[in-house]
Amino acid sequence: MKKIGLLIACLLSLVGYSAQAQVDFGARFGVSYTALTQRINEGYVSGGKAGFSIAGLADIPLYKDLSFRPEVAFMHQGGNYYSQPVFSEMAAYNKYRYYSIQVPLDLAYTFHIEDIHLTVFAGPALDFSLFGKMKTSNNETEANIQFGAEKEKNLRTFDLGVKVGLAVEYNRFFFAIDAICGTLDRRPTKRDGESKLLQNNVTFSLGYFFRKDTH
């Protein structure tokens, strides 16, 4: 958490440095494929589902075509995974769907091709899970996820992801594709034989920048 605080402080100092520059704001809506990924028998297994995200973002110039692009998103995500090892197999198949607040903190570089802006961006993404539902293969009744509870079949509240993406902007409208790979184990508890459980997302978005000019 200290490293995260230091990172945020550095980014805020960059924002302060560029406060005199023009800041553009935008909004986007995206559809996504979200998955919970684990390692089973020397291979990676992902169980996914469709989701969505709604976000507001800012584009803060830093130097020439380099900018800081923070975002606050409300996201519907989740996935499926196996638990409870029995000999060489898993006894339970768990299905999750839940809502989170995501805060990507990206550095972006924009290439200008006449009136088209092509932007590549990357950075950390903070994820705070809020509420959701889960069920297992042997119990079709849904239950609330108790985020942060140190109990089996719940999930940890916080995740730190690594985000990379590409956006194409024309006449203030933009299309973007991005991927976020989680780095923290979402399991609150683990049995012997269970691997880390990681959250991964791929999102396709349409958005609009409320730019003061089209530079």
Total tally of structural domains belonging to the chain: 1
pTM: 0.83
CATH of the domain at 168: 2.40.160.20
Q: Name the average pLDDT for the chain.
A: 86
Domain contains 165 = yes
Domain span including residue 74: 2-210
Q: Is residue 149 scored above 60 in pLDDT?
A: yes
Domain contains 131 = yes
Domain contains 163 = yes
Q: Is residue 154 scored above 70 in pLDDT?
A: yes
Domain contains 215 = no
Q: Which of 1-5, 19-23, 176-180 has the lowest mean pLDDT?
A: 1-5
DSSP letter for each residue of 11-55: HHHHHHHTTTS--EEEEEEEEEEEEEEEEETTEEEEEEEEEEEEE
Nearest CA to 172 out of 120, 119, 213, 209 is that of: 209
